[in-house]
Structure 1
Amino acid sequence: METEKLMDEIDLILQMSKAGTMSTLVSPTLREYMTFYIKDYALYTETKKNSLIIRGIEHDPIIDITLGGDEGSGNYLDIVGETKVVDDQEGVDWLQWEKGLFAVADDVVMLKVVVQKVKLVEAVQE
């Protein structure tokens, strides 16, 4: 696939697919289904402070996200990135605004995923 077409497909998946799975490299079989929001080429999401994902991130912040593979083309992204807890108020406020009217609970942590690698996986044609 030529570079421009590849980038267009990646952008389309990022715009259309907000939900996906996230796992840590510490325990890749434990996946959490999450909704992701994009800002400045980073992915943002939230999870409970005592979730398995947080425990895994404490040991190793590198995570794997699978995003896409839905009603569009069927193609999906395999994303590897480094996760950081969002503790600045501006970041928290932005994510709350993106989510709409939903309030952020006290036991929830905001996460920022700085993307290190993106792989486009094409759907198998039958």
Structure 2
Amino acid sequence: TAEWLVTYQPSLYLLSFIVLIHLAACLIMISLPLAWYWQISGLIALLLKGLYEYLYAAGYLPWAVHTVRWREFGGWEITTINRTHHAVILTENSFCHRWLTVLNLHTRQGKRFRAIFLADNLSPAQALLLRRRWLCAKTA
């Protein structure tokens, strides 16, 4: 049977984007004409969200995706950083392009996962295979 397996590596592009977008949001929050306590609470919320996104994308959280596997007759599976295996379903709001692929996955119990692949954490050959698998799953 055909199989596709990739070990998720953190993307320097994605990590840089997460840092820059959250810093820009913090600068906007500071420039808003709000009371100081609203600005501080907004900054704390933005920084915590940015930290969470960074840690998830860098693979430091135990529930972050470690490997993604597609089997011709078995569907999609993931393994998290803490080595738990999950049979998952690819959701319709996943996105696939030559330079960016976002796999939104969920278990039958509703637990959600996402894997974001950019040009620096997926080889061109793997990206091509992933696009083909994604198109097969989308048309099925």
Q: Give yes or no for TM over 0.5.
A: no
Structure showing greater relative contact order (alpha-carbon pairs closer than 8 Å, 6 or more residues apart): 1
Q: Which has the higher helix share?
A: 2
Which TM-score applies when normalising by structure 2?
0.27
Higher strand share: 1
Of structures 1 and 2, the larger Rg is shown by 2
With the length of structure 1 as denominator, give the TM-score of the two structures: 0.28
